[in-house]
Structure 1
Amino acid sequence: MGVIEVEGMKFYAYHGHFEAEKVVGNNFEVYVKIETDCSHAANSDNLDDALNYQALYECIKEEMKIPSALLENVAQRILDALHDKFPAIEHARVKISKMNPPMGGEIEKVSVTLER
Protein backbone atom coordinates (compact mmCIF):
# COMPACT_ATOMS: atom_id res chain seq x y z
CA MET A 1 0.00 0.00 0.00
CA GLY A 2 1.16 3.52 -0.69
CA VAL A 3 0.01 7.04 0.01
CA ILE A 4 0.03 9.84 -2.55
CA GLU A 5 -0.65 13.36 -1.31
CA VAL A 6 -1.21 16.37 -3.56
CA GLU A 7 -1.01 19.49 -1.44
CA GLY A 8 -1.65 23.18 -1.89
CA MET A 9 -3.65 23.11 -5.12
CA LYS A 10 -4.99 26.63 -5.55
CA PHE A 11 -8.09 27.56 -7.52
CA TYR A 12 -10.25 30.61 -8.04
CA ALA A 13 -13.86 29.43 -8.09
CA TYR A 14 -17.45 30.46 -7.47
CA HIS A 15 -18.58 28.21 -4.63
CA GLY A 16 -20.78 29.66 -1.93
CA HIS A 17 -24.28 30.08 -0.60
CA PHE A 18 -24.49 33.86 -0.88
CA GLU A 19 -25.20 35.59 -4.18
CA ALA A 20 -22.06 37.74 -3.91
CA GLU A 21 -19.90 34.60 -3.63
CA LYS A 22 -21.44 33.27 -6.83
CA VAL A 23 -20.60 36.50 -8.66
CA VAL A 24 -17.30 37.60 -7.14
CA GLY A 25 -15.79 34.19 -6.39
CA ASN A 26 -13.03 33.35 -3.96
CA ASN A 27 -9.71 31.58 -3.55
CA PHE A 28 -9.77 27.92 -2.59
CA GLU A 29 -7.11 25.42 -1.63
CA VAL A 30 -7.48 21.67 -2.14
CA TYR A 31 -5.55 18.81 -0.57
CA VAL A 32 -5.99 15.14 -1.48
CA LYS A 33 -4.62 12.01 0.10
CA ILE A 34 -4.87 8.84 -1.95
CA GLU A 35 -4.21 5.29 -0.77
CA THR A 36 -3.34 2.91 -3.57
CA ASP A 37 -1.01 0.05 -4.42
CA CYS A 38 2.26 1.70 -5.47
CA SER A 39 4.32 -1.51 -5.67
CA HIS A 40 4.16 -1.90 -9.47
CA ALA A 41 5.28 1.69 -10.09
CA ALA A 42 7.95 1.43 -7.42
CA ASN A 43 9.44 -1.63 -9.11
CA SER A 44 9.00 -0.67 -12.76
CA ASP A 45 9.77 3.08 -12.60
CA ASN A 46 7.14 3.41 -15.34
CA LEU A 47 4.40 6.05 -15.34
CA ASP A 48 1.99 3.57 -16.93
CA ASP A 49 2.11 1.58 -13.68
CA ALA A 50 1.48 4.61 -11.46
CA LEU A 51 -1.39 6.86 -10.54
CA ASN A 52 -0.68 9.85 -12.78
CA TYR A 53 -0.52 12.98 -10.60
CA GLN A 54 -1.18 15.25 -13.57
CA ALA A 55 -4.36 13.36 -14.47
CA LEU A 56 -5.38 13.49 -10.81
CA TYR A 57 -4.91 17.27 -10.75
CA GLU A 58 -6.86 17.74 -14.00
CA CYS A 59 -9.77 15.75 -12.58
CA ILE A 60 -9.88 17.97 -9.48
CA LYS A 61 -9.51 21.12 -11.58
CA GLU A 62 -12.55 20.18 -13.68
CA GLU A 63 -14.71 19.62 -10.59
CA MET A 64 -13.58 22.95 -9.09
CA LYS A 65 -14.91 24.74 -12.19
CA ILE A 66 -18.49 23.65 -11.39
CA PRO A 67 -20.10 26.14 -8.96
CA SER A 68 -21.68 24.72 -5.81
CA ALA A 69 -23.40 26.31 -2.84
CA LEU A 70 -21.59 24.10 -0.32
CA LEU A 71 -18.01 22.89 0.04
CA GLU A 72 -19.44 19.52 1.08
CA ASN A 73 -20.92 19.16 -2.40
CA VAL A 74 -17.65 20.05 -4.11
CA ALA A 75 -15.70 17.59 -1.95
CA GLN A 76 -18.19 14.80 -2.65
CA ARG A 77 -18.07 15.44 -6.40
CA ILE A 78 -14.28 15.32 -6.32
CA LEU A 79 -14.32 12.04 -4.38
CA ASP A 80 -16.83 10.53 -6.81
CA ALA A 81 -14.83 11.67 -9.85
CA LEU A 82 -11.55 10.36 -8.44
CA HIS A 83 -13.02 6.94 -7.66
CA ASP A 84 -14.70 6.80 -11.08
CA LYS A 85 -11.61 7.78 -13.09
CA PHE A 86 -8.98 5.97 -11.02
CA PRO A 87 -10.21 2.50 -10.03
CA ALA A 88 -6.86 1.74 -8.36
CA ILE A 89 -7.75 4.17 -5.56
CA GLU A 90 -8.59 2.22 -2.43
CA HIS A 91 -9.27 5.21 -0.19
CA ALA A 92 -9.28 8.96 -0.76
CA ARG A 93 -9.50 12.02 1.46
CA VAL A 94 -10.33 15.47 0.07
CA LYS A 95 -9.97 18.71 2.01
CA ILE A 96 -11.27 21.95 0.51
CA SER A 97 -10.53 25.29 2.14
CA LYS A 98 -12.24 28.57 1.32
CA MET A 99 -9.74 31.34 1.96
CA ASN A 100 -10.92 34.52 3.76
CA PRO A 101 -14.59 33.47 3.87
CA PRO A 102 -17.13 36.30 4.11
CA MET A 103 -18.24 35.60 7.69
CA GLY A 104 -18.02 39.08 9.19
CA GLY A 105 -14.63 38.72 10.82
CA GLU A 106 -10.99 38.01 10.19
CA ILE A 107 -10.87 34.30 9.32
CA GLU A 108 -7.99 32.74 7.41
CA LYS A 109 -10.03 29.87 6.00
CA VAL A 110 -12.85 27.43 6.55
CA SER A 111 -12.39 23.81 5.47
CA VAL A 112 -14.41 20.69 4.78
CA THR A 113 -12.86 17.22 4.68
CA LEU A 114 -14.60 14.13 3.28
CA GLU A 115 -13.23 10.68 2.67
CA ARG A 116 -14.24 7.41 1.10
Structure 2
Amino acid sequence: MGLIELKNIKIYAYHGCLVEEKKIGSDYRVDLKVKADLTKSAISDRLADTVDYVHLNHIVKEEMAIRSKLLEHAAERILIRILDELHLVKKATIKVSKINPPIGGNVEKVTIIRSKNR
Protein backbone atom coordinates (compact mmCIF):
# COMPACT_ATOMS: atom_id res chain seq x y z
CA MET A 1 0.00 0.00 0.00
CA GLY A 2 1.24 3.48 -0.79
CA LEU A 3 0.26 7.02 0.05
CA ILE A 4 -0.06 10.06 -2.22
CA GLU A 5 -0.59 13.44 -0.59
CA LEU A 6 -1.51 16.77 -2.13
CA LYS A 7 -1.09 19.64 0.29
CA ASN A 8 -2.11 23.26 0.21
CA ILE A 9 -4.23 23.29 -2.95
CA LYS A 10 -5.40 26.91 -3.02
CA ILE A 11 -8.78 27.69 -4.51
CA TYR A 12 -11.10 30.71 -4.57
CA ALA A 13 -14.73 29.59 -4.24
CA TYR A 14 -18.18 30.65 -3.05
CA HIS A 15 -19.18 28.16 -0.35
CA GLY A 16 -21.19 29.07 2.72
CA CYS A 17 -24.63 29.71 4.12
CA LEU A 18 -24.34 33.48 4.36
CA VAL A 19 -25.41 35.78 1.53
CA GLU A 20 -22.01 37.51 1.72
CA GLU A 21 -20.21 34.23 1.07
CA LYS A 22 -22.24 33.65 -2.09
CA LYS A 23 -21.40 37.14 -3.37
CA ILE A 24 -17.78 37.73 -2.40
CA GLY A 25 -16.39 34.22 -1.94
CA SER A 26 -13.30 33.27 -0.01
CA ASP A 27 -9.97 31.53 -0.27
CA TYR A 28 -9.87 27.83 0.55
CA ARG A 29 -7.13 25.34 1.22
CA VAL A 30 -7.56 21.65 0.41
CA ASP A 31 -5.26 18.86 1.60
CA LEU A 32 -5.80 15.40 0.18
CA LYS A 33 -4.36 12.01 1.06
CA VAL A 34 -5.09 8.80 -0.86
CA LYS A 35 -4.05 5.24 -0.09
CA ALA A 36 -3.52 2.95 -3.06
CA ASP A 37 -1.53 -0.06 -4.17
CA LEU A 38 1.49 1.55 -5.82
CA THR A 39 3.46 -1.68 -6.22
CA LYS A 40 3.00 -1.95 -9.98
CA SER A 41 3.88 1.68 -10.72
CA ALA A 42 6.97 1.50 -8.52
CA ILE A 43 8.27 -1.23 -10.82
CA SER A 44 6.88 -0.15 -14.20
CA ASP A 45 7.54 3.61 -13.97
CA ARG A 46 4.31 4.15 -15.98
CA LEU A 47 1.75 6.85 -15.22
CA ALA A 48 -1.04 4.47 -16.26
CA ASP A 49 -0.10 2.19 -13.33
CA THR A 50 -0.46 4.78 -10.57
CA VAL A 51 -2.84 7.38 -9.15
CA ASP A 52 -2.24 10.51 -11.21
CA TYR A 53 -2.01 13.48 -8.85
CA VAL A 54 -2.92 15.79 -11.74
CA HIS A 55 -6.25 13.94 -11.97
CA LEU A 56 -6.71 14.33 -8.20
CA ASN A 57 -6.03 18.06 -8.42
CA HIS A 58 -8.47 18.38 -11.34
CA ILE A 59 -11.27 16.69 -9.35
CA VAL A 60 -10.65 18.98 -6.37
CA LYS A 61 -10.77 22.12 -8.50
CA GLU A 62 -13.89 21.06 -10.42
CA GLU A 63 -15.85 20.13 -7.31
CA MET A 64 -14.76 23.19 -5.32
CA ALA A 65 -16.10 25.33 -8.18
CA ILE A 66 -19.62 23.99 -7.46
CA ARG A 67 -21.18 26.05 -4.69
CA SER A 68 -22.15 24.29 -1.46
CA LYS A 69 -23.51 25.69 1.76
CA LEU A 70 -21.33 23.33 3.81
CA LEU A 71 -17.69 22.41 3.39
CA GLU A 72 -18.65 18.85 4.30
CA HIS A 73 -20.81 18.67 1.19
CA ALA A 74 -18.04 19.86 -1.13
CA ALA A 75 -15.56 17.47 0.51
CA GLU A 76 -17.93 14.53 0.16
CA ARG A 77 -18.41 15.19 -3.56
CA ILE A 78 -14.65 15.22 -4.04
CA LEU A 79 -14.23 11.91 -2.20
CA ILE A 80 -17.04 10.23 -4.13
CA ARG A 81 -15.46 11.19 -7.45
CA ILE A 82 -12.01 10.05 -6.38
CA LEU A 83 -13.25 6.66 -5.23
CA ASP A 84 -15.41 6.26 -8.37
CA GLU A 85 -12.90 7.46 -10.97
CA LEU A 86 -9.59 6.16 -9.65
CA HIS A 87 -9.83 2.40 -9.25
CA LEU A 88 -6.48 2.07 -7.43
CA VAL A 89 -7.58 4.33 -4.55
CA LYS A 90 -8.76 2.32 -1.55
CA LYS A 91 -9.07 5.11 1.00
CA ALA A 92 -9.05 8.91 0.83
CA THR A 93 -8.88 11.68 3.40
CA ILE A 94 -9.70 15.29 2.61
CA LYS A 95 -9.25 18.40 4.71
CA VAL A 96 -10.91 21.64 3.59
CA SER A 97 -10.14 24.95 5.28
CA LYS A 98 -11.84 28.29 4.67
CA ILE A 99 -9.38 31.15 4.87
CA ASN A 100 -10.72 34.51 6.14
CA PRO A 101 -14.47 33.83 6.17
CA PRO A 102 -16.77 36.86 6.58
CA ILE A 103 -17.30 35.99 10.25
CA GLY A 104 -13.58 36.47 10.92
CA GLY A 105 -10.80 34.04 11.70
CA ASN A 106 -10.22 30.81 9.80
CA VAL A 107 -12.26 27.64 9.67
CA GLU A 108 -9.41 25.40 10.82
CA LYS A 109 -10.62 22.47 8.72
CA VAL A 110 -13.33 20.02 7.93
CA THR A 111 -11.95 16.49 7.62
CA ILE A 112 -13.73 13.53 6.02
CA ILE A 113 -12.36 10.03 5.44
CA ARG A 114 -13.89 7.48 3.04
CA SER A 115 -12.93 3.96 2.01
CA LYS A 116 -14.14 1.76 -0.80
CA ASN A 117 -16.66 -0.83 0.32
CA ARG A 118 -14.80 -3.70 -1.29
TM-score range, shorter chain: over 0.9
Identity rate, percent: 42
Unaligned 5+ segments in structure 2 are: none
- 1:58 alignment counterpart: 58
| 1:36-51 correspondence runs (5 A) | 36-51=36-51
Q: How many residues align structurally?
A: 114
- 1:27 alignment counterpart: 27
| 1:1-116 correspondence runs (5 A) | 1-103=1-103, 105=104, 107-116=105-114
Unaligned 5+ segments in structure 1 are: none
For 1:64 and 1:13, the matched residues in 2 are separated by: 6
Q: Which amino acid aligns with 2:111?
A: T
Structure 1 stretches of 4+ moved >6 Å: none
Q: Which amino acid aligns with 2:113?
A: E
Deviation at 1:87, TM superposition (A): 1.7
Aligned to 2:62, the other structure's residue is in SS state helix
**Conserved? CA contact 2:71–2:96, under 8 Å:** yes
- How large is the Cα RMSD of the aligned pairs? 1.0
TM-score w.r.t. length of structure 2:
0.93
